[in-house]
Chain A
Amino acid sequence: MARDTVTERLAATGTDNALELRGVSKKFGELEALGGIEMTVKPGERRAVLGSNGAGKTTLFNCITGDFAPTTGAIRFFGEDVTAFPAQERIRRGLRRTYQISLLFSGLSVIDNIYLACRGVSRGRFSFIRPGRSDALMQSAEDLLRVVHLEPVRDTMVSDLSYGQQRQLEIAMALSGAPRFILFDEPAAGLSPTERSELVQILTGLPSHVGYIIIEHDMDVALRVSDMVTMMHNGRIFKEGKPAEIEDDEEVQALYLGGGHD
């Protein structure tokens, strides 16, 4: 990614950090899934979180989105302390996420899924009036449908979609309603090479003010779409740096890449 666009992107947004984690830890009984995580992500910054299975990456996401409350620590989103906020309040402030295992509404059509995502962050969630085709939110749902190339299956039930299509739909839902910051949990897992390159296109094509954290096992994808990389191991951060630094780091190679990455 060109250096100047990154600087531009970072300069274009406000002064508050997009995301600040201060001493965030999470215990499940005796098991410490996260331990004292300190992380600062600037607005518009795109960061990859890498680490082996069980490193605490998804738990970190769950704490940020409010799916779980952290055991200790504080989470600030664009300067606001959201630690005690329920999930929906964080979403309404512009935070989005995708799930590792697709969490979709299987009994509804593709367009209904996206429409619900668009409606969730706007007014009229309790509206008893049906949306028409000209409805503004319906329009933005149709736009998102095109972004992720799902027009051919617009009215298909989600339970009838292929795995790859479900992943695309996950992304469309995360992009709905003016997101400011998105958490992508292994969006490329199980995708074909073509679908992966489409995913990279979607990620690099996001508006410059939209930052994200991506959990990704595929190093090719992760390093191509991120400005910064955070390495996690056993619930702790053990290295942060630019993609190139991380790729060349011996310790990282030994631990995560098994030393075999050239």
Chain B
Amino acid sequence: MVAMPESDARSEKKPPQWVENTPPAYWVLGILLLIVPTFASNFVMFQIMGWTFILGLIALSLMFLGGYGGMVSLAQMAFAGFCGYMIAIFGNSAVEGISQGWPWWLVIPLALFLTMLFATLVGWLAVRTEGIYTIMITLAIAAAFFYFARQNYEVFNGFQGFNSVLPPELFGVDWRGPVAFYYLTLFWAVAGYAAVLYVSRAPFGLALQGVRDNPRRMAALGYNVTAHRVAAYAFAALIAGIGGILLTWQSAQISPGTISIQAAIDVLVIAVIGGLRHPIGAFIGAFIFVLLKTFAVDVLIALGLGGERFNLLIGIGFLIIVFWSPDGLLGLWEKLRDSRKRDPLTGKGVE
């Protein structure tokens, strides 16, 4: 019998690289997330988990810009909301005078495309600035869009916005049903997470990290720094746009409240709480934010304080995290892990 070449034999048995590279904790989390509907209530699936994944996606778009591109944008919620508005305007809603009622397979790609176009324009303006000025200019754009949507009745239906914006009944499934909606948002959260991780190692993502570390050197290597930054805005807006569509479907409506300045800042808070350094941080931050937003009221009332003060809890939590770990909870976790591994004598990490 002819012996098989060693390398062939090995490649047959070996699972693909990504399977090996995935830490066991991820497998456990993955299976846990898949079986959530077997034990969780409808409220947990639809409200807690669904909302976590949606806000996580929108915060992920900020993490991509901030963590890899070094650009902190407060316009991510505006992009998400813009996409939600496009779905309502071109698709179906209760506001029949404005909504065009086009089919979903046309409306969704169109909405995402227009959102990316909007983000390209915003990015084109914002990338000319750095640091605090980027934050200011994106905040100004978010605020302008909020007031515009609130005052424009011809297209955005003003203060009322649009209600009854529902997902299409694809494959005979009611996608707003708790289980279906849970899996729908889980799917897009995982897809967004995987896409960001993948792109971070592709030439585009690497170049973006290069731009973050040293824009001048990137130009000296032949890169068009401005174009790369603008493209990052467009890609991030695609993720935010998907989050925006899901957000609109979850509440079945889109109105100026969705894109308020408070909401824009919430996205930043989520991304910072979780940690801007790794895509998973966006979802960790979103989970904590959603828990606080949902249950802080009850906790406060139980403590005999006014329920409307839940923002106080979020604020204090935010302060503590930023104070102790500028890299958010992820950074805190890394610190703890490293300190356990550290040699008590030399203070150096032990392999």
A contact set with B: CB distance below 8 Å:
65-67, 86-88, 91-92, 97, 99, 103-108, 112-113, 115-117, 119-121, 124-131, 173, 176-177
Contact = CB atoms under 8 A, between A and B. Distances in A.
> Main secondary structure on chain A at its contact with chain B?
loop
Contacts, number: 96
A66 to B, nearest CB: 8
A129 B219 contact: no
Contact of B222 (A92, A128, A130, A131): A92
Interface of B: 198-199, 201-204, 206-207, 209-210, 212-214, 216-225, 227-228, 231
B61 to A, nearest CB: 16
B220 A126 contact: no
B221 A117 contact: yes
B127 to A, nearest CB: 15
Contact of B202 (A99, A107, A128): A128
A104 B217 contact: yes
Given A116-B207, A130-B202, A106 B220 contact: no
Given A127-B202, A129-B202, A120 B222 contact: yes
Nearest to B223: A120
A91 B222 contact: yes
Contact of B204 (A86, A103, A108, A127): A127
A144 to B, nearest CB: 13
A131 B225 CA distance: 21
Given A103-B214, A104-B214, A105-B214, A120 B206 contact: no
Contacts of A105: 209-210, 213-214, 217
A105 B214 CA distance: 6
A88 B224 contact: yes
Nearest to A124: B203
A120 B218 CA distance: 8
A87 B218 CA distance: 9
A171 to B, nearest CB: 14
A214 B257 CA distance: 60
Contact of A119 (B198, B207, B209): B207
A126 B199 CA distance: 10
A87 B207 contact: no
B283 to A, nearest CB: 22
Contact of B213 (A65, A91, A108, A117): A108
Most buried by A among B206, B216, B218, B222: B222
Contact of B206 (A66, A104, A108, A121): A108
B228 A126 contact: yes
Contacts of B212: 107
A190 to B, nearest CB: 19
